Chain A
Amino acid sequence: MLNTPQGGENPSPLAVLVVDDEPLIRWSLRDALRRRGHQVTEAGNAAEALRAVESGHGRFDVVILDYRLPDRQDLTLLSDVRRLAPRAMVCMMTAYGDESMRAEAFALGARAVVEKPFQVNAVVTLVESGLSATGHSNA
Chain B
Amino acid sequence: MHEAKWRAVFESAVDGIIVIDDRGRIEAFNGAAERVFGYRADEVVGQNVSVLMPEPYARDHDKYLNRYLETRERRIIGIGREVTGRRKDGSTFPHHLSVGEATIGGETKFVGIVRDLSERVALEAKLREESSLARVGELAAVLAHEIKNPLAAVSGAIQMISVRFAPGSEEQSIVQEVLRRLDALNDLLGDLLLFARPPRPNVRRVDLPVLVENLTGFLRTDPGWERLHVEVDGQVGPVAADPELLRIALENLLLNAAHAMAGNGVMRVHFHESDGMALVDVVDSGPGIPAEIRDRVFNPFFTTKARGTGLGLATVRRIAESHHGHIDILQSSASGTTMRLSLPLSR
Residues of A within 8 A of B (CB): 1, 3-4, 22-25, 27-29, 31-32, 35, 68, 93, 95-96, 98-99, 116-121
Contact = CB atoms under 8 A, between A and B. Distances in A.
B179 A22 contact: no
B105 interface: no
Contacts, number: 65
B199 interface: yes
B148 interface: yes
A31 B148 CA distance: 21
B157 A3 contact: no
Interface of B: 145-146, 148-157, 159-160, 162-163, 176, 179, 182, 186, 197, 199
Given A32-B160, A117-B155, A22 B150 contact: yes
B206 to A, nearest CB: 19
Contact of B186 (A27, A29, A98, A117): A117
20 contacts: A1-B176, A3-B163, A4-B163, A22-B150, A23-B153, A24-B153, A25-B152, A25-B156, A27-B160, A28-B153, A28-B157, A29-B156, A31-B160, A95-B145, A96-B148, A98-B199, A116-B148, A116-B149, A116-B152, A120-B160
Given A22-B152, A25-B153, A117-B182, A96 B145 contact: yes
Contacts of A28: 153, 156-157, 159-160
B152 A95 contact: yes
A121 B148 contact: no
Nearest to B157: A24
The 3 closest A-B pairs by CB, nearest first: A28-B156, A116-B152, A95-B148
